[in-house]
Amino acid sequence: MVSIDLFAQMDFADEEAWKVFTLNHGFVHENYSRLIQVTYNVQVPLYDLYTVRLDDGMATQNWLQTHDAVHQYISQITGLGESPDLETVNLKDKDQFYDWMYYHQLIHDQIDQVLGAQ
């Protein structure tokens, strides 16, 4: 099972690490979709969560919006309640980036535990 924990421990503005993170993060969401289908008999739409270009503000915003919607849906299905807002962030701001990565990792840890994906 791929976890985002190690990949989330990156330095701010490390573009190569971000690419590795988003690729593995996409695999994690793909696995969640399969586990939810088997466990809850519910389809979680697969969106392109594998890449996001931080140098394109509109692409980044679209990715954040889609990613947040997916997390809200997963949280609802798994009974975790409302997921914290993962959309409202400026990933080019160092403090916001690190806060977002931290809370995002915690959310994934909760999902991993509920789905037995640890």
Domain ranges within the chain, ordered by starting residue: 15-115
pLDDT on residue 8: 61
Express each pLDDT in 35-68 by its tens digit.
999 999 999 888 888 778 778 889 899 999 999 9
The structure tokens listed for 52 are 């996001």
Rounded Cα gap, residues 57 and 53, in angstroms: 8
pLDDT tens-digit readout, 65-114: 999 999 999 999 999 999 999 999 999 999 999 999 999 999 999 999 99
How many CB atoms neighbour CB 1 within 10 A?
11
